[in-house]
Amino acid sequence: MNPKTKHIIVIFICSTIILSLVVGSLIFNVVFNGEIPQTRVLNDDSGNLIAIAPFPPSFQFPMGTDRDGNDMFYVILKGAMYTIGVSLIISCLSFALAFVFGIIGAFTKSKSKYITQTLFTSFYFIPQSIIAYNLLFPFLWEPPGGYTTTLTERIVLQIVVLSILTLPTTAILISNEAVQLLQKEYITSAKVLGASRFFILRKHLLPHLKLRLFIIYPKIIIQVLLILAHLGFFNLFLGGTAVDHEYGGSPAPYVNEWAGFMGTNYLELYNKAWIFLGPMFFFALTILLLNGLSKGIENLLETQLDPQIIHKKQNIKSKTIIGVSNIKKDDFSLVKSS
Amino acid sequence: MKQTFFTRTFFEISLIIAGIMLVSAAIPLFQLNDISLLNYGKTVWGIAKELATPHDLIYINPLSGEERNLFPIIFEAYFNSMKIFFLALIISLFISVFLLVLYFSVSERIKKSIEGIGYVISSLPDIFIIGIFQIFIVWFFKRTGILILDVAATMGNPIVLLPAITLSVLPTFFFFILMVTILKEEEEMSYVELAKSKGLRKYRILFMHMMRNVLISLTNHGKHIMWLMLSNLLMLEYLYNVFGVTPFLFSYGEPSIFAVTSIFIFLPFFMLLKILEFTFERRIGSDMNL
């Protein structure tokens, strides 16, 4: 198969599965009102009680049920929209801002740029999920008297905070990519010919950078997904954590999404493992698909940018190894004399 | 502007510490009723003052409400974390080199599948790997009655090995994939051809000649690997209940404790990167800036 078609197929499969997860979740939430089928007890034909929830994965419940008898498959389906959707929004915001700052950073060469970049390097040494936890805790953890903010406010604030948090590292990444491209010879020649910065950006930088950005973007989504999941494990959920101050029950999420579900059910790992592993599996799958997407785009670009690569690969195959005869009979054909 | 290596390093360290202080000062931002630049400035100044007299810092345990001086206690936690981190780093380097040798001794088709598996594992989320490890050990215990390693730390029984092994999984495959990619590029270089034509053995070329260049490229990704491992480490400490630096970072009330802990975490890693950079600059003469 042509390597190019192979990469396109990979990209197509990865994006289709992610999209169908989100769209499926959207349909389930909007058309079916997100009602999860619940089975608390199972009876046999004569009406005798044979089992109570949680049920392990079986033919009837492909992914089992949780302790309240909610079918895990629908729980996961319901959550997909929120988790993937929110991380898409956050990464989009952060990416757009990082693009602006990164490009500005790439074009400036002053000492102040060096200073800002080194200052922001500190973000590499403090894990972002910890900063996010500390920043968001007073806002998301329900105070004893109940919230003074609405759910939407909290979600919006969380989105803004997380996009600002992922901004510095993304900006540094984009800036480095741009700087690499700006060092190419054709940029220097364009400068010599008198091109303005804006012209270089539009005509010479963007066409190449655009392709590289497609590789970076899925990685930013992954980063955001991981921060959300970590926050979930630290009991800070999307849109706030419901805390039972009176009776001291375990913290619960307001929004039915994956990170919150995984965080609250982590201890199930030791007894009813499927309750935790189901969402975990889908979460990992999403990240794998995003990685596959990024890798697929990268490979595609490599074949596109370098048409010789196909040629080169064929060359490597036909390399002769010393001592081994690679000569085939087909290599010799009779040349007709004219 | 030509700076010597040491002044540049010193400058960078002070800048990053300043950066950490600025980040820490942002932490109590949402607790204040009016978010203003003036308040932010006040917090930064407060942190700077408290960092000047570190032995007066007091750490309040968020669970028990107990008050303690930060200083002797943080060292114990800190060394626990560092033990896990560096053990994991060493394990992952060894295993990835071992995998590399394995990779170079199998046929082309198996190579492809090893690469594929490596890529898939290296892109799994950290929490997934922690979960799988814990469930595997519990399952093994239920089946055979042999507890391979303790799954959770208790008082007076700190665990190091299991967290270190878990932590080493992702970097192992990350290193491995990176090394394979770099080696593929390196294989086409003319010095490798020359060495081959001279009749040097495969592993001699691999370890004596190519590995040096691979190490340089590997260190270029150093910051990224540290970053990946660090967030992984904190997650691990939290889920395995290891007494490490993580609880100190959850002190959302006190930005100065957050700052101190972050600076402690940052220093050895940055030093390690800088030492590597320095050695390469000296020995190989390649110019890099990590």
- This complex has an ipTM of 0.87
Q: List pLDDT tens digits, range B71-127.
A: 777 888 888 899 999 999 999 999 999 998 888 888 888 988 998 899 899 888 888
Show Cβ contacts of residue B174 under 8 Å, excluding neighbours closer than 6 positions.
Answer: B122, B225, B228
Coil/strand/helix, residue A325: coil
Cβ within 8 Å of B, A 264-303: 266, 269-270, 273, 276-277, 280, 283-284, 287-288, 291, 295
Does B119 map to a domain?
Answer: yes
More reliable by pLDDT, B154 or B241: B241
Backbone angles phi, psi at B64, to 5 degrees: -95, -15
Q: Supply the pLDDT for residue A337.
A: 65
Domains contained in chain B, number: 1
Coil/strand/helix, residue A12: helix
CA separation for the pair A19, A85 (Å, rounded): 10
DSSP letter at B210 equals: I
Q: What is the mean pLDDT of residues B9-27?
A: 88
Does residue B253 surpass a pLDDT of 70?
A: no
The CATH number of the domain where B174 resides is what? 1.10.3720.10
| Chain A residues with CB-CB distance to B127 below 8 A | 229-230, 233, 262, 280
Cβ within 8 Å of A, B 98-157: 119-120, 123-128, 131, 134-135, 138
The answer to whether A179 and A106 have CB atoms below 8 angstroms apart is yes
A78's enclosing H/E stretch is: helix A72-107
Give the closest-approach CA distance of A172 to chain B in angstroms: 12
Does B286 map to a domain?
Answer: no
Q: Supply the pLDDT for residue A86.
A: 93
Does residue A335 surpass a pLDDT of 80?
A: no
**Which domain covers residue B118, as residue numbers?**
71-250
Q: Does B16 touch chain A (CB under 8 A)?
A: yes
Does B5 map to a domain?
Answer: no
Does residue A148 surpass a pLDDT of 70?
A: yes
- Asked if the Cβ–Cβ distance from B20 to A138 is below 8 Å, we say no
Does residue B1 surpass a pLDDT of 50?
A: no
CA separation for the pair A14, A288 (Å, rounded): 9
Q: What is the mean pLDDT of residues A250-274?
A: 85
CA distances (Å), A11 to each of A211, A308, B238, in order? 14, 22, 36
Which amino acid would we find at residue A294?
S
Q: Supply the pLDDT for residue B204.
A: 86
Does B264 map to a domain?
Answer: no
Does B260 map to a domain?
Answer: no
Q: What is the mean pLDDT of residues A76-94?
A: 92
Q: Does B14 touch chain A (CB under 8 A)?
A: no
Give the closest-approach CA distance of B40 to chain A in angstroms: 14
Q: What is the mean pLDDT of residues A237-252?
A: 82
Does residue B259 surpass a pLDDT of 60?
A: yes
Which amino acid would we find at residue A314?
Q
- Asked if the Cβ–Cβ distance from A269 to B135 is below 8 Å, we say yes
CA separation for the pair B23, B40 (Å, rounded): 10
CATH level 3 topology of A71-289? MetI-like fold (1.10.3720)
Does B90 map to a domain?
Answer: yes
CA distances (Å), B105 to each of B181, B212, B213, B289, in order? 16, 20, 21, 35
**Rounded to an integer, what is the distance from CA B4 to the centroid of its chain?**
27
Does B60 map to a domain?
Answer: no
More reliable by pLDDT, B206 or A311: B206
Does residue B200 surpass a pLDDT of 90?
A: no
Q: Supply the pLDDT for residue A88.
A: 93
Does residue B129 surpass a pLDDT of 80?
A: yes
Which among A61, A91, A102 is positioned nearest to A274, based on CA atoms?
Answer: A61
- Asked if the Cβ–Cβ distance from A122 to B127 is below 8 Å, we say no
| Chain B residues with CB-CB distance to A122 below 8 A | 16-17, 19-20, 22-23, 262, 266
Does B14 map to a domain?
Answer: no
Coil/strand/helix, residue B185: helix
Q: Supply the pLDDT for residue A307.
A: 54
| Chain B residues with CB-CB distance to A119 below 8 A | 15-16, 18-19, 22
Q: What is the mean pLDDT of residues B116-142?
A: 87
The answer to whether B266 and B20 have CB atoms below 8 angstroms apart is yes
Q: Hey, where are the domains in chain A?
A: 71-289
